[in-house]
Each structure stands twice: as structure tokens, then as C-alpha cells.
Amino acid sequence: MSSFCQPVSRLVRKKAFLIQREYRAAIARSLGQPLIVEDISALEKVEDTEVIVNVEACGINASDILKCQGEYTEKQKLPFIPGFEVCGTVKQVGVKVEDFKPGDRVIGLNKEKLGGFAEECALDQSDVWPISKKVSFEEGAALLDTYATALLCLHRRAKITAKDTVLITAAAGGLGLAAVDLAANVYKAKVIGVCDTEEKASIVRDKGAFAALKFDPKHLRDKIKDYTGKKGIKIILDAVGGDLFKEALKYVTHEGKVIVAGFASRQIPQIMTSDLLPKSYSLIGVSLTHYRLADREVYRLYFFFALMFKYFKEIFSAFFLSFFLFCCK
């Protein structure tokens, strides 16, 4: 879809006779091939609601990799500059931008236009959030997508409480660690993470998980039985798909909630709707990208709380979060 691409004019190399400002960018010119670092010319005109950011750090998201390989659900038109989790300082703003000025430290999530793997990135002002010096550029680039998604999954859709046991499948990934952090430290739920090495398991436990298990069906079955007795798991947050998703479904409890957030294994599992009935459990999809398109207010609200969590982690509680989300609705 062309609207999902950085304007191609930005990717055209400077003509020799023009003296125009340039910046470097890593460009995907063909799918499944290494990115090419080139100097490209900056647009002369900044759109009215646009913010140009000097990129100091940009996350390499799982979806960036899929897009570069041509395996993302929405195919990317070539050429394009990948990267949407941007953190840096404002370089320039359009005439209708009132909330940002040059020099401000910001995080941007450029889910539509991408363009983050570059020295400069143009974003709409509605995709930009201010950050304080307390947040490093590197942390900022990895913060919002993960924490806002985890909050949407756990708070808005699963309605997590301290009584719940939560199974997080891709626990050592970006989204998984954010979910472990929120579920264990804000909601005080009993969190069981799944990952593939002992080294990662120790990171997951350090984040606050009650337990971190390696993905081995027998090991999972025995340990989950030990930890939950006959009760099973109330909330499953899955971003892996494939066999792990199918295995995890065996442990969902009566009236449990299963959140489908991604397919890191690249295998999209199929289930029969009749499977939902014996335990009356709910299957819930969450896509941050589509929240942005469908409900911008909620999208921005959850980013705001993800940032608040970063600033006020020590005093950030489930009560505080529920109270403010209630007031904001």
C-alpha cells in the first residue's frame, strides 16, 4: 500500500546540479536482501502537521524484519526505509504543529510511513510524544510499542487482576518482557513466562515473573500443574503462535482469556470454534496498529500510560491506572 511508505521522492538521490540538504538512510530496495545505506535528499517542504525528528535511536521491531523479507501481512511497496520506533530530538515542525518545537526530546511511532532507519524521520504530530531526559534515546525507542501493547492486552482486553495467573509465551521478547513487568509489578498477578534458554529465563524472572519455563510440552504440563493445581491459567498472552499456542490452550481455565498478539514463530495456528465451549474461554485479538486506525483516542491514551509507567514506576499501581483510565473515558 503506497500510503504505508515513505514518499519515494525522499529516496531519490540528489541530482548533481541541485544543492540540497541530504541525510543518510538504510533503504530496502529489494525484499530479502541487505538494506543499502545511501545519502538521500531531504524534502524541501515540511507538511503542516509534520514533525521532523533527528533520529538518535530506532527500534528493530519483529515487524520491520518481516516487512524487509516481504512476509508481513500488508506488503510494503519498494523502495522503503524501514523502522517505526523512533527516538530523538525535533529538528523542524510544520506550521500547524503547536505542541513541539526544535530541540524537544520525543518518541515517535511511525507505523504508517516508517522511515526510522535514517538520520531524519518525518512523522505526523499525532504519532509523536514528548519525553524527559530521564528516558534515554535507546530506552525510548523500545518503550512505547511494547508497553502500550502489553497494557492494551492485559488491562483493556483481559481485565487482569491480582488474583489471576498469567501465562506469557514470548516472555523474553520486547512485548513479553513489558507484559511480565506490568502483570507482575503493577497488577501483582502470578506470572509464568515461557522462553527458550535458561539465560533468558533468568531475565524473565528478574523482571518479576513467578516462574520462567522452557518450551517443552512435558515440562510445561508438569510445572503448570505444580503452580496452579487444578485451576489452570486465567490469562494467556501469546505472541508466538504455532505449537506453543496450541500447547498453551490446554492450560486455560474455565472462563479464561486467551490474547492473540502475534506470531513470532511465523505459524498461524488454526482452532475449531467448538474448542472454546468446554471451558467457556474467550479468544481475543489485539493489534496496536489497528487501534491506531480504529480508535486514535484509546491508542494515544495507552501510550500516555506507558510513558507514565516509565516515569513513575515506583508509585504506578493497578488502582492508579484503573482510576485514571476511568476518568479519561
Determine contact, residues 68/31, Cβ cutoff 8 Å.
Answer: yes
Check binding of 167 to ligand NAP (CB under 6 A). no
Query: Which span (56-64, 156-164, 268-276, 295-303) binds ligand NAP, by CB under 6 A?
Result: 56-64
Residue choice 88, 173, 208, 232 for contact with ligand NAP (CB under 6 A): 173
Helical segments of the chain, H only = 62-69, 137-151, 174-181, 198-207, 217-228, 242-249, 288-294, 296-311, 318-328
Q: 507482575: which residue's cell?
A: 184
Residue choice 244, 249, 301, 306 for contact with ligand NAP (CB under 6 A): 244
Whole-number Å distance between alpha carbons of 190 and 43: 51
Considering the complex, what minimum distance in angstroms separates the CB of residue 205 from ligand NAP?
13
Residue choice 25, 239, 252, 306 for contact with ligand NAP (CB under 6 A): 239
Amino acid sitting at position 174: G
Check binding of 114 to ligand NAP (CB under 6 A). no
Q: How far, CA to CA in Å, does 109 sit from each of 57, 69, 185, 270? A: 12, 21, 25, 31
- Farthest-apart Cα atoms in the chain, separation: 75
**Which residues, 262 to 301, sit near ligand NAP by CB under 6 A?**
262-265, 286-288
Binding characters for ligand NAP, 177-206, by CB under 6 A (x = yes): ------------------xx---x------
Binding characters for ligand NAP, 124-153, by CB under 6 A (x = yes): ---------------------x---x----
User: Which helix (H) or strand (E) is 307 found in, with range?
Assistant: helix 296-311
Can you give the C-alpha Rg of the chain in angstroms? 21
Check binding of 168 to ligand NAP (CB under 6 A). no
How many other C-beta atoms can be found within 10 angstroms of the C-beta atom of residue 215? 15
Considering the complex, what minimum distance in angstroms separates the CB of residue 224 from ligand NAP?
16
Considering the complex, what minimum distance in angstroms separates the CB of residue 194 from ligand NAP?
8
Instruction: Tell me the residue length of the chain.
Output: 329
Check binding of 212 to ligand NAP (CB under 6 A). no
Check binding of 220 to ligand NAP (CB under 6 A). no
Q: 523500545: which residue's cell?
A: 142
Applying CB under 6 A, which residues contact ligand NAP?
Answer: 61-63, 145, 149, 170, 172-176, 195-196, 200, 215, 239-240, 242, 244, 261-265, 286-288
